[in-house]
């Protein structure tokens, strides 16, 4: 069973290895000093409860995990689609490409990583190593 890590020394990344942007964000997450728990939705099935917990960490509802105005969603499902949480869970479970942006979790904080640089906010910075003139 896949679960969300709430460890301050581990990054959990929920992503789709078939999407270029997701692979770039995965590479950044892998370069962190913390452990990486990578959940590739094309290879691992996750429960509806998992998506509900993920949405809770983000402070949104499950239906908000899918941007219905994104061109990839519109191309597949049409415009002006109104999703409920159950419908969103089914889509996320059966169509991993509809998770348009990967989601990263570290401890009790979660982010939607739209750009590969977004993941760096989970990296530890060692300010002692910075040479300040």
In a domain, 22, yes or no: yes
In a domain, 2, yes or no: no
Structural domain containing residue 33: 10-129
Per residue in 53-111, pLDDT tens?
A: 999 999 999 999 999 999 999 999 999 899 999 999 999 999 999 999 999 999 889 99
| Sign of the CA dihedral with 13 first, then 17, 19, and 25 last | positive
In a domain, 26, yes or no: yes
Q: What is the structure's pLDDT at 124? A: 62
- Residue 13, pLDDT > 60, answer yes
126 — pLDDT class (breaks 50, 70, 90): very low
Pairing between β-strand 10-15 and β-strand 103-106 as defined by DSSP bridges = antiparallel
In a domain, 5, yes or no: no
Q: Provide the domain count of the chain.
A: 1
Q: What is the structure's pLDDT at 34? A: 73
Cα 62 to Cα 1, 8, 89, distances in angstroms: 19, 24, 7
Helix (H) or strand (E) holding 15: strand 10-15
In a domain, 4, yes or no: no
In a domain, 116, yes or no: yes
Q: pTM, whole model, 2 decimals?
A: 0.85
CB count, 10 Å around CB of 73? 20
> What span, in angstroms and rounded, lies between the C-alpha atoms of 128 and 12?
27
In a domain, 19, yes or no: yes
- Residue 132, pLDDT > 50, answer no
Q: What is the structure's pLDDT at 35? A: 86
In a domain, 1, yes or no: no
| CATH code, domain carrying 88 | 3.40.30.10
């Amino acid at each position: 069973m896949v679960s969300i890590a709430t460890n301050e020394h581990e990054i959990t990344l929920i992503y789709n290895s078939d999407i270029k942007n997701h692979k770039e964000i995965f590479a950044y997450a892998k370069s962190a000093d913390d452990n990486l728990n990578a959940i590739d939705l094309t290879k691992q099935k996750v429960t509806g409860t998992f998506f509900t917990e993920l949405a809770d960490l983000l402070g949104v509802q499950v239906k908000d995990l899918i941007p219905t105005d994104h061109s990839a969603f519109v191309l597949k499902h049409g415009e002006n689609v109104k999703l409920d949480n159950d419908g969103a869970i089914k889509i996320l479970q059966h169509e991993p490409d509809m998770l348009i942006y990967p989601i990263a979790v570290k401890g009790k904080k979660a982010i939607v990583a739209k750009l590969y640089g977004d993941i760096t906010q989970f990296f530890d910075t060692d300010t002692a190593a910075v040479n300040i003139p």
